[in-house]
Amino acid sequence: MRIGELSTATGIPVPTIKYYLREGLLAPGELTSPNQASYGESHIRRLRLIRALVDLAQVPVAQVKEIVASLDADDVPLHDQIGRAHRALTPARKPTASPEARAAAAVEVNALINRRGWTVEPEAPALATLIETVAALRDLGQDNLVAFLDAYAEAVDTFAQLEVQAVSAPTRDQLAESVVIGTILGETLISSLRLLAQESISADRWR
Amino acid sequence: MRIGELSTATGIPVPTIKYYLREGLLAPGELTSPNQASYGESHIRRLRLIRALVDLAQVPVAQVKEIVASLDADDVPLHDQIGRAHRALTPARKPTASPEARAAAAVEVNALINRRGWTVEPEAPALATLIETVAALRDLGQDNLVAFLDAYAEAVDTFAQLEVQAVSAPTRDQLAESVVIGTILGETLISSLRLLAQESISADRWR
DNA sequence: GTTTATGGATACTGATACTATCCGTCCTAT
DNA sequence: ATAGGACGGATAGTATCAGTATCCATAAAC
């Protein structure tokens, strides 16, 4: 398959595919001659994944690159592979909250993790985001929401359990891909479902 | 309070505050003379909100503008106000999935909404995103995740119920603000909690 | 054997989120 | 009263991101 066919097969313009190749999101095709390459089924799959991440989940291209790199690095334990994808997924955020609120939030979040019995390494980027968010909520005067942290954690555990159940791929490669897709598109799924549920409740309650 | 004090009070550079003023994210100060203005406590609050949305929740400035506009438009029913904020929150996404997958997903999603008994207007942007996501998951061969849609919806209902309980503001203005903050920062909260839960389960399972 | 497509490189574009500069005015300390 | 800085408002410049466009020499298709 040449690049033009790859383009019509996926609906992605040729210059964009070239761009993804340049950026290292997509592996180069197999060279059949010094300036001619051929692409396979795997390239179509990969492009579909890239588009879902970029267009649907709005993941920046640089992070998509990290994510696909983590998928291709299957010579490490699966947990490490997933951890790497997770790290690529959590963007660096500028600190927002006041230092005092952040310090208090850190204590609070760590207590929550202990209550839950979660195994979390202290450098997990999601941990920093969580602390920052709790601190920001306090700064914004939304303590009532923070009071439900435990309930949130409980519900979130439900998701994570579900997702582990949902993952049942025959090969290691497909397993890793499933986990990554589930993590990312799962979030889009949850967020749109939540918006829908909120609208419904809001309609019932305030209209 | 002059703009310099507003800047030191919030930690936001003066040029950035001027930029937010230009973009209409922040109401102009009260003019004390033709070229001198004074800002109040409400401006500090608003700037804190803007920074939480922009830096923490990574909402684009144009959407933050819509959101704060919806907060200030308190002359309509609360449900409409929330709906407007919701619309500002759901970015337009390029269609990703194949038309067939999308049509099938639409049927599936509508059935889910009926089973749940949700009140959802057909033009809700979150509905389009949900359909697109389900379709993309099918296209990516992740049917096993889609099979858990009902369980997801169930868990998400839990969130939405919690959030409605959590909202208990004395005034209508603060209520609307609470709902918006809860909707947006709640998502950051859920997403980082979910990542943490996943890492924990992944550590227990695959390490 | 001419037109079209391709791989690879480089340049350009439009959008976003600020920063920087300028100007005339105003307040403030001396 | 005046010098010096801050202010508001406007305009221009910058960095990053995600592509697009163009060019070239070669290869493929008709």
pLDDT of residue B30: 95
Q: What's the pLDDT tens digit per position in B7-65? A: 999 999 999 999 999 999 999 999 998 889 999 999 999 999 999 999 999 999 999 99
Instruction: Give yes or no for a contact between B167 and B175, defined as CB atoms under 8 angstroms apart.
Output: yes
Instruction: Give yes or no for a contact between A82 and B207, defined as CB atoms under 8 angstroms apart.
Output: no
Q: Which residues of A touch B46 (CB under 8 A)?
A: none
Rounded distance between C-alpha atoms, residue A166 and residue A153, angstroms: 20
pLDDT of residue A14: 98
User: Separation of CA A172 and C1' C10 in angstroms?
Assistant: 40
Mark B39-71 as b/e (b = at least 16 C-beta within 10 Å): beeebbebbbbbbbbbbbbebeeebbbbbbebb
Side chain identity, residue B19: Y
Helix (H, G, I), strand (E, B) or coil at A12: coil
Rounded distance between C-alpha atoms, residue B96 and residue B10, angstroms: 40
The structure tokens listed for B127 are 């509905």
Q: A37 pairs with which residues across the strands?
A: A31
Closest to B80 measured CA to CA, from A52, A207, A200, A205: A207
pLDDT of residue A190: 95
Contact criterion met (CB < 8 Å) for B78 and A206: yes
Is the confidence at residue A159, as pLDDT, over 80?
Answer: yes
Rounded distance between C-alpha atoms, residue B15 and residue A206, angstroms: 40
Helix (H, G, I), strand (E, B) or coil at A31: strand
Q: Does B171 touch chain A (CB under 8 A)?
A: no
pTM: 0.94
Instruction: Give yes or no for a contact between A194 and B159, defined as CB atoms under 8 angstroms apart.
Output: yes
Q: What's the pLDDT tens digit per position in B125-170? A: 999 999 999 999 999 999 999 999 999 999 999 888 888 878 878 8
Q: Does A56 touch chain B (CB under 8 A)?
A: yes
